[in-house]
Chains A and B, each alone.
Chain A
Amino acid sequence: MLDQPAEGYVTADGRQIGPVVLELKNITLRFGGVEAIKNISFDIREGEIRAIIGPNGAGKSSMMNVISGFYVPQEGEILYKGYKRRKMPPYQVARTGIARTFQNIALFEGMSVLDNIMTGRMNLMKSGFLKQALWWGPASREEDEHREKVEKVIDFLEIQHIRKTPVARLPYGLKKRVELARALAAEPQILLLDEPMAGMNVEEKEDMSRFILDVNDEFGTTIVLIEHDMGVVMDLSDRVVVMDYGKKIGDGTPDEVRNNQDVIDAYLGVAHE
């Protein structure tokens, strides 16, 4: 693996990658006797698209849950923006600017698309409880401002036509897109996408890939991505972490990872003589 300068670098195709924003150090996560993640360390740089790949059950989603605070690792530490992150519940992690989507879509099914995306801005709303309840002037003005931002996200992801539709009625592909919209509405520094293209057809995958690149490009959002489609991963990402049986077996640019013998073994199986 090449050593990259601490303050950041520019990739071959001219993308600006910044310094390390989140660093995972010696993370170990156990469920009872099972070690889902075994002593893994890697870092995430500002503005990059970082993929986590690996066979089923490798611990990728667990890793995602550790970063977003849904799981608390037994060992290891997480450095975020240079500071050690204390143990905190997932809703507080969300408030530090880390938004996420889920492998099995977690949307508010009973609410409209618009309302779903509005919940993404929950943390950015400042008006206090009472003012909101009484619908005071400033609170109402604030609501309007948030609506404007949400409309921008809606335009960006091209879902204007379903704004008022209850989420439960949408097809799978659009649900995935609404979930991304809700995460984006929070204006996150880091966006965690857990299999954003699972179960999609080719056309939907292309759309989603384009959105991911656009988000990264236009808002400079750092993106961490779990994906099974190798073509997509190699195309999109700047650096890739490869996991297998809870261990890290590879880390580097797509090209480096592609030529890594351990990675090839994990994916194609090892010949036993």
Chain B
Amino acid sequence: MSDNLLFAMEAALNGVTVGIMYSLVALGFVLIFKASGIFNFAQGVMALFAALTLVGLQNGQIPFAPIINAAFGTSIHNFGWNLPSLVAIPLTVLVMIGMAWAIERVVLKHLVNQEPIILFMATIGLAFFLEGLGDIMWGAEVKRLDVGIPQGMSSWVDETTYNLFGYGFFIDTLSLYALGIAAVLVTGLVLFSQYTKQGRALRAVADDHQAALSVGISLRFIWVLTWSIAGIVALVAGIMWGSKSGVQFSLSLIALKALPVLILGGFTSIPGAIVGGLLIGVGEKLFDFFMQPVIGGATENWFAYMLALVFLLFRPQGLFGERIIERV
């Protein structure tokens, strides 16, 4: 096999692993958009906040320490313990559920029956609030996140491909875990929404609020549920991205990369988020690989958006989105 083909294959495989990371973020958007028609601008910040909380809990950081110290002249920073991931992760899940509840209480409840654009604006506000809250609670410095997922080159992939092709592919072990986790997450979500009472209620609310009320579904419960699930998905995305590149503010910007994924996959499709992420991941790696000699590097920064633009022109509902039909 020619070297070039092998390199391209390696690039494509790396694209798959990057793409799945995009999908993890896009998934959170899809969940909330499906259930309430809200485009949640704060999804990226939720991932950052979840990761910050997780690191803070793991390290036994005292939340709001700088404020407490400034107000009372104390000098406390740490509880002096380290929580294992197995305890810290469930605790963070609880925090995210609490956050979903608070969002429903403080924001959504007062905006029932408002235009989608107003709800969208509210989520922008939410994004800024959470960003600030994360900083105040846990501090703004870059943090290392380690939940015990192995990192670095996967020697298994390296050896297997070396034996097959005589050239070892470089794949990050973390990415392989991300693949597995995403698969479990998506299967779980699909099963939940298709086969459980709450899943059915969730789909019902997404479809028609009045009808849902008339069969006895509490909208508020469903909204808390949706935002909780989106919060948990954000936590998963936060863990994966945080382990990869540290927990820092730029984490919230990965939400921007989720936008083209959503445009490709459709805003309302869970499998679409996965396929869209993969297409973008693989697409940008391969495009970079083949076009680098021609137009130079750094195409990864804009390729996804260009692809999204093409999609908007020819298939605005995305690959799996609901077809928009206007009856006249």
Q: Please, which residue of chain A has its CB at the minimum distance from the CB of B203?
A: A111
Q: In chain A between 157 and 189, which residues have their CB closer than 8 angstroms to a CB of chain B?
A: 182-183, 186
Query: B211: which of A95, A107, A133, A186 is its contact (CB, 8 Å)?
Result: A107
Query: Given the complex of chains A and B, what is the CA–CA distance between A37 and B218 in angstroms?
Result: 27
Chain B residues lying within 8 Å of A70, measured Cβ to Cβ, are: 210, 213
Q: Are A110 and B216 in contact (CB under 8 A)?
A: no
Stretch from B96-104, B175-183, B189-197 forming part of the interface with A: B189-197
Q: Are B191 and A107 in contact (CB under 8 A)?
A: no
A123, CB-defined interface residue at 8 Å: yes
A232, CB-defined interface residue at 8 Å: no
Q: Are A135 and B195 in contact (CB under 8 A)?
A: yes
In the complex where A122-B200, A133-B196 touch, is A111 in contact with B207 (Cβ < 8 A)? yes
In the complex where A129-B198, A133-B196 touch, is A108 in contact with B203 (Cβ < 8 A)? yes
Q: Are A102 and B198 in contact (CB under 8 A)?
A: no
B11, CB-defined interface residue at 8 Å: no
How many residue pairs at the A-B interface have CB separations less than 8 Å? 83
Query: Given the complex of chains A and B, what is the CA–CA distance between A108 and B199 in angstroms?
Result: 14
In the complex where A109-B208, A110-B203 touch, is A122 in contact with B191 (Cβ < 8 A)? no
Q: Which secondary structure characterizes the binding site on chain B?
A: helix
Query: Given the complex of chains A and B, what is the CA–CA distance between A91 and B204 in angstroms?
Result: 13
A132, CB-defined interface residue at 8 Å: yes
Query: Given the complex of chains A and B, what is the CA–CA distance between A183 and B211 in angstroms?
Result: 10
Chain B residues lying within 8 Å of A107, measured Cβ to Cβ, are: 208, 211
Q: How far is the CB of A135 from chain B (nearest CB, A)?
A: 7
Q: How far is the CB of B212 from chain A (nearest CB, A)?
A: 8
Q: Are B214 and A89 in contact (CB under 8 A)?
A: no
Q: In chain A between 120 and 135, which residues have their CB closer than 8 angstroms to a CB of chain B?
A: 120, 122-123, 125, 127, 129, 132-133, 135
B217, CB-defined interface residue at 8 Å: yes
A90, CB-defined interface residue at 8 Å: yes
Q: How far is the CB of B252 from chain A (nearest CB, A)?
A: 29
Q: In chain A between 6 and 47, which residues have their CB closer than 8 angstroms to a CB of chain B?
A: none
A115, CB-defined interface residue at 8 Å: yes
B158, CB-defined interface residue at 8 Å: no
Chain B residues lying within 8 Å of A135, measured Cβ to Cβ, are: 191, 195-196
Q: How far is the CB of B175 from chain A (nearest CB, A)?
A: 28
B215, CB-defined interface residue at 8 Å: yes
In the complex where A108-B203, A111-B203 touch, is A122 in contact with B216 (Cβ < 8 A)? yes
Query: Given the complex of chains A and B, what is the CA–CA distance between A100 and B192 in angstroms?
Result: 28
Q: Are B208 and A108 in contact (CB under 8 A)?
A: yes
Q: How far is the CB of B159 from chain A (nearest CB, A)?
A: 38
Q: Are A94 and B200 in contact (CB under 8 A)?
A: no
In the complex where A127-B197, A133-B192 touch, is A94 in contact with B208 (Cβ < 8 A)? no
Q: Are A109 and B215 in contact (CB under 8 A)?
A: no
B32, CB-defined interface residue at 8 Å: no
Q: How far is the CB of A226 from chain B (nearest CB, A)?
A: 15
Q: Are A99 and B196 in contact (CB under 8 A)?
A: no
- Which among B201, B213, B217 has the greatest number of chain A C-beta atoms within 10 A? B213
B219, CB-defined interface residue at 8 Å: yes
Query: Given the complex of chains A and B, what is the CA–CA distance between A4 and B207 in angstroms?
Result: 44
- Which among A95, A109, A110, A115 has the greatest number of chain B C-beta atoms within 10 A? A110
Q: Are B210 and A106 in contact (CB under 8 A)?
A: yes
A221, CB-defined interface residue at 8 Å: no
Q: In chain B between 209 and 238, which residues have their CB closer than 8 angstroms to a CB of chain A?
A: 210-219
Q: Are A133 and B216 in contact (CB under 8 A)?
A: no
Query: Given the complex of chains A and B, what is the CA–CA distance between A100 and B214 in angstroms?
Result: 7
Q: Please, which residue of chain B has its CB at the minimum distance from the CB of A135?
A: B195
A216, CB-defined interface residue at 8 Å: no
Q: How far is the CB of A214 from chain B (nearest CB, A)?
A: 22
A153, CB-defined interface residue at 8 Å: no
Q: In chain A between 83 and 117, which residues have their CB closer than 8 angstroms to a CB of chain B?
A: 89-92, 94-95, 99-100, 102, 106-111, 115
Q: Are B211 and A108 in contact (CB under 8 A)?
A: yes
Chain B residues lying within 8 Å of A133, measured Cβ to Cβ, are: 192, 196, 198
Chain B residues lying within 8 Å of A125, measured Cβ to Cβ, are: 197
In the complex where A90-B214, A99-B214, A123-B215 touch, is A118 in contact with B200 (Cβ < 8 A)? yes
Q: Please, which residue of chain B has its CB at the minimum distance from the CB of A186?
A: B215
Query: A122: which of B192, B207, B217, B219 is its contact (CB, 8 Å)?
Result: B217
- Which among A119, A120, A186 has the greatest number of chain B C-beta atoms within 10 A? A119
Chain A residues lying within 8 Å of B213, measured Cβ to Cβ, are: 70, 89-91, 94
Chain B residues lying within 8 Å of A110, measured Cβ to Cβ, are: 203, 206-207, 322
Chain A residues lying within 8 Å of B208, measured Cβ to Cβ, are: 106-109
Chain B residues lying within 8 Å of A111, measured Cβ to Cβ, are: 203-204, 207
Q: A106-B210, A122-B197 are in contact. List 15 more A-B contacts (CB 8 A).
A: A70-B213, A89-B218, A90-B214, A91-B219, A94-B214, A94-B215, A100-B214, A102-B211, A110-B203, A119-B204, A119-B212, A119-B217, A122-B200, A123-B215, A135-B195
* Top 10 A-B pairs, shortest CB-CB distance: A94-B216, A106-B211, A108-B207, A132-B196, A123-B216, A90-B213, A95-B216, A106-B210, A125-B197, A91-B218
Q: 16 A-B pairs, CB-CB below 8 angstroms? A: A70-B213, A89-B218, A90-B214, A92-B216, A94-B213, A102-B214, A108-B211, A118-B200, A122-B200, A122-B215, A122-B216, A123-B216, A129-B198, A132-B196, A132-B198, A133-B196
